[in-house]
Each structure stands twice: as structure tokens, then as C-alpha cells.
Chain A
């Protein structure tokens, strides 16, 4: 089976895992819409002692038998666009002061069975969930192709309404898609690859 991956790197996972145990402060972005629920291409997450940024980028894959520009997320240390976000007031302080107890990676696996190309699989880390002692915050790509991300807040991880992009994959005669989403604790993924640099 042909495999295609747009997964978080080990460095990305380590930065995300670094939030665990810290006190949550706020999130923001220089391009936030719809009451802080949609960021155009990047956003930052701040605890009382650190800040990371989530950045959407693009990569060309021929998953469907031709060049398509897919989006993927990466994580950087520091706050990208913080000055602009402060200027516009695009900062959100839900769950401020609560401890981050876990980070969960949102992983989508698209399996395609094409009569000409054969079976192919695309694995995409579409975002992650930050669990605090009082509520959860999800950052999730809005599409397999676009560089924006949706942000949801809820009292529990179970009540988050995660964005799903299933309707981007339409089965047709000779081509079937199936999409599976898993949510995996970040430390589990780090344990799978302990010797990775």
C-alpha cells in the first residue's frame, strides 16, 4: 500500500508535550475570525511560562494520482504574530490559570482504493487538543488542503465539536475512500519514537 504522511515531527510533538504540567494563560493570532474560532494561517498558545506557535504550511503530494497542495501543521517555539494579536485584541483567556493535564494529537487516516492506482493511505495530524483541569481547547485544520485552523473550547474533551473534513473525500465509481480519526495522547506518540533525534 502506498503511504503518504503529513504528521507532526518529533520536535513538534515535544513542543506540544511541553505544555503538560504548565498553567494555561491564553491563545491568540494575528488573523482570528468568528469570535476567535478560526485562525487563518498561524496562532500561538501561551502558558504562564512558555509559548508555542502552530503554523500551517503546504506540501505537494500525488496521493490521488496528480499533484495536489495539501496543508499540514508544524509547531514552533515562541509566539508568531503576538504583537499584531495584542494590537487587535485577538487574545482569548478561557481556562486561564488552569493546569494543562494532557495534550492529545488528532490524527486522520484516509484510505483510498483506486482501481488504477491501487490502495493508498494518507496519514495527517490535523491538530491537537489541550486538556486543562477545567476545560479543553482544540486546534484543528479546517481542511486537508487549506492553511486555516479552527479553535474550539469546551468543558470536556468529549464535548468538543471537532472539525471533520470527511466531505472532501467523495467516493466514486472505481475509487473508494474511508476516513478514520484517532485521538492519541502526545506522550504515547513520543514513546513510540524514543530514539528519534
Chain B
């Protein structure tokens, strides 16, 4: 699966560890981006029958072991890890209103993008 950090393999309950596990259920591109989108683009899309439920499921997986807190906007959540990596969930994005998850790693990790935003939309 790869994706070890510069300090060694992903430690338990790190966002990187959660990220690697999430890849089993949510496939990624060779560059480590979830869903579909243009090459190199940080904004991605996952199609699902239940976009909100799917986004919540992904956030639950990615936030494990992080410090989870509510964000000021209704329903929005964040999980912050000790190394400064973080994952945010917003039920309504500012751009198109779809549920969105944002993932950020402050330090470079091989095979894992520093940042990505995943919008969850209904299957067409």
C-alpha cells in the first residue's frame, strides 16, 4: 500500500494510517487522490447513491484517533492529529453545495498528496 511518512511507516491512529485504510474502500489514483478529477487537480469527486452518508463514513474512517471538534458552520467537523495533519468534513460546500471532505498533511509523505478536497455527488 505504501505511503510511509518520512519518519517511517504510518503510525497507528495517524491520519496517514487512516488514509491508507480508507484506500481499501475508496480507491485512489496512482498519485493518491480519491475519486475522479482532472490530473493534478486538488478538487476531486466521488459519486455515491448517498453522498452525505458516504462523506460521513469517510470522515469517520479518516478521523479515528484525531482530536475531533465541531466547526462553526452547522454540521461541519474537523479532526486534528498531533503532527498537524487534519481532515475536515462539511455537509455543504461553499462551491456547489455538495458534502465535502478536505485532507491535509503538513509534511511530505511519499505517494500521498499534501492536500485534496473531495466532493460527494449523486450517481448520475
Supply 12 A–B pairs (Cβ within 8 Å), ascending by A.
Answer: A30-B72, A31-B69, A31-B71, A33-B69, A34-B80, A40-B78, A64-B41, A69-B43, A69-B117, A81-B72, A143-B104, A150-B84
Interface pair A34/B84, CB less than 8 Å apart: yes
List residues of B whose CB falls within 8 A of some A CB: 37-38, 40-43, 67, 69-73, 78, 80, 82, 84, 86, 88, 93-95, 102, 104, 106-108, 114-115, 117
Digitize A135-150: 1 where CB-to-B-CB distance is under 8 Å, 0 elsewhere.
0000000111111101
Chain A's closest residue to B83 (CB) is A34
Instruction: Tell me what chain A mostly uses at the interface: helix, strand, loop, or mixed.
Output: loop
Given A41-B73, A146-B104, 6 new contacts (CB under 8 A): A31-B72, A33-B69, A34-B80, A69-B94, A144-B115, A167-B108
Q: How far is the CB of A116 from chain B (nearest CB, A)?
A: 11
Whether A168 is near chain B, meaning CB under 8 Å from some CB there, is: yes
Interface pair B115/A168, CB less than 8 Å apart: yes
Q: What count of chain A residues pass the 8 Å CB interface test? A: 33
